[in-house]
Structure formats: C-alpha cells, structure tokens
Amino acid sequence: MAAASAEITRSGDLRVVELTAGTWPLFERLLGPTGLQGGCWCAFFRMPGRQFRAAGAADRKAHVHDAVRAGKPLGLLGILDDEPVAWVAVSPRLDNPRLATSRVAASSDGDAAGVWAVTCFYVHRRARGRGLASRMLAAATRQAFARGARVVEGYPVEAKEKRAAGELYHGTVDMFAAAGFDLVARRDTRRALMRIPAP
C-alpha cells in the first residue's frame, strides 16, 4: 500500500512520510484494529487525563483522526517495501495537554512556545532490531525544526537493564543522546527530560 503523501526523507531502505489525511490508512494498518496499548491510538498525550480515561478506543481514534483531518502535525510513519512498520509521535508541546500535568515532562524553562515533543515510538515486531526507532527520531527532529520548532524535547526511559518492548515507547536515554539531545534532568531513576535546540 503506497503512501498518498510526499516523502519527507529517506534513510537507507526506510521511507518516512508525515501522518496526513492521505496517509491515515497506513497509520490504521500499522496500529491494527485495537490501536495498540488498550486502544490508545496515540491519543494519550493529546487528551487531558480525565477525557482520555472516559473515552473508549473508538473515541480516541476519532479524536486523533479529527486532528489529522484538521491538518495538525502528529507524527511520522516509516515505510519499508510499501508497508508501514514504524511510527514516531512528534508535535508542538502545546498540542499535548497531558504533558502540562506530567511530573516527568515538566518543562525546564516554563515556556512551551516553540517547543515540540517526541512522545511515542512504535516499531512493528517484524521490523525490530534494525535501528528504525533511531532513524525515526532523527526524521522527527528534522521535521520539527523544518516546521519552526526552537527546541525539540523527549522523555525517554533509562534502559541500562533489559526492558520489555512495551516499556520503551518513550525511547531510550541512549538513543536520544546519540541523536544529539542533551540531558536536562533525571526525573526519577528511570526517566529523563532531554532537549535539543534548533541549529
């Protein structure tokens, strides 16, 4: 299934496209009928906590789909051999109200204007072990800066010990560091706030 959108970048055999109304079918295909993680549909950060908890999977999917149809940036899809295999959520921090109430994601300077957030990664099991998350992070950072971000930040997990794939959807500290992000603060023994300024 080819993506109905202009390619953003290519990294070796990985083609990266933005999630748009035209590529929405690829997003549905990648996340599958359940929308991952109990029907999240990558709405967790985009909806206030109470609203997210009250919504079912169908409402969360509709919320995200409405944002896509409105032209809001939500993230990027990674395509291999015309099949969607990877996702990274990257969008303005202000479009993610859950971040405003998160202890881990508390802003380091109090000014969210111009800050973009990388909140979630997903790589399909058939494509894991190929470094796709790192390539998606690089593409997300470039895309955010191209859209005018002054800073891109993430909230990765410390992965010195082996963790299940389901625990790594924030990305890892080492992965963000390798992409040029600076460690701003450790928020507990497992999570960190990391940032990279616009070049």
Tell me the C-alpha distance between 43 and 35, whole Å: 10
Q: What is the mean pLDDT of residues 55-78?
A: 96
Q: Is the pLDDT of residue 94 over 80?
A: yes
pTM (two decimals): 0.91
Residue with tokens 């300024």: 197
Lateral strand order in the sheet of 75-80: 7-11, 14-18, 75-80, 83-92, 115-123, 151-154, 192-197, 182-186
Average pLDDT score over residue span 74-102: 95
Q: CB within 8 A of 52, min separation 6: which ones? A: 43, 44, 60, 98
Task: Name the pLDDT band for 64 (thresholds 50, 70, 90).
Answer: very high
pLDDT per residue as tens digits for the range 185-199: 988 778 899 999 999
Question: What are the structural domain ranges in the chain?
Answer: 7-197
User: Band of the pLDDT at 30, cuts 50, 70, 90?
Assistant: very high
Q: Give the pLDDT score at 152.
A: 97
Q: Domain 7-197 carries which CATH code?
A: 3.40.630.30
Q: Which amino acid is at 119?
A: T
